[in-house]
Amino acid sequence: MAPLDVQIAVLVLTAVVGVVAGVTYDVYRLALRPRSRPVLRALTDLGLWLFLALLVYAALWLADFGDVRMYVFLGLAAGYAIYAGLFRSLVTMAVRAGQKAWAVVRRAVRGHVVTVVAVLRRWARACHDAYTARFRPPPASR
């Protein structure tokens, strides 16, 4: 059995991993998941859970060489509960604000892209007209 100080350290680490897992899941749930197609949603769900499983496994491996004890699950649950009670509203507000800011930036950039594309089209047309005028074959004589 591991010493008490190692068990407490692993418990705290798993609580931190529980908070990180909660943040990751909520950001995914709020920002990415609603807009995706069913097949893409299934693949991203699988990717999210694989990422979270690897995160927990890496933390356990670094802390206690991968030993899974009951206090590991308690730490994960406590970390998620701490996140849900204290930080979920802040993360939700931040994600919503980020989505609104991204929409504003996207609209602004889209307007400029349309302008740049129009200028490039005019320039390409002018270059094409100049090229065809310069290298047009002479008229055929009858």
Tell me the pLDDT of the chain (142 aa) as tens digits: 678 888 888 889 999 999 999 999 999 988 876 667 888 888 888 999 999 999 989 988 888 787 788 888 899 999 999 999 999 999 999 999 998 998 888 888 887 887 888 889 999 999 988 888 877 777 777 6
CA atoms within 13 A on the CB side of 124: 6
Q: 51 near 109, Cβ under 8 Å? A: no
Q: pTM for the whole thing?
A: 0.70
Q: Phi/psi of residue 139, each to 5°?
A: -65, 145
- Give the separation between CA 26 and CA 33, rounded to whole angstroms: 10
Cα gap 20→55, rounded to integer Å = 9
Q: pLDDT tens-digit profile of 45-65?
A: 899 999 999 998 998 888 878
Separation between Cα atoms, residue 3 and residue 7, nearest integer Å: 6
Question: Which sign does the torsion angle of CA 44, 49, 54, 56 carry?
Answer: positive
| Tokens coding 5 | 């100080």
Burial class (CB in 10 A: 0-12, 13-18, 19+), 124: exposed
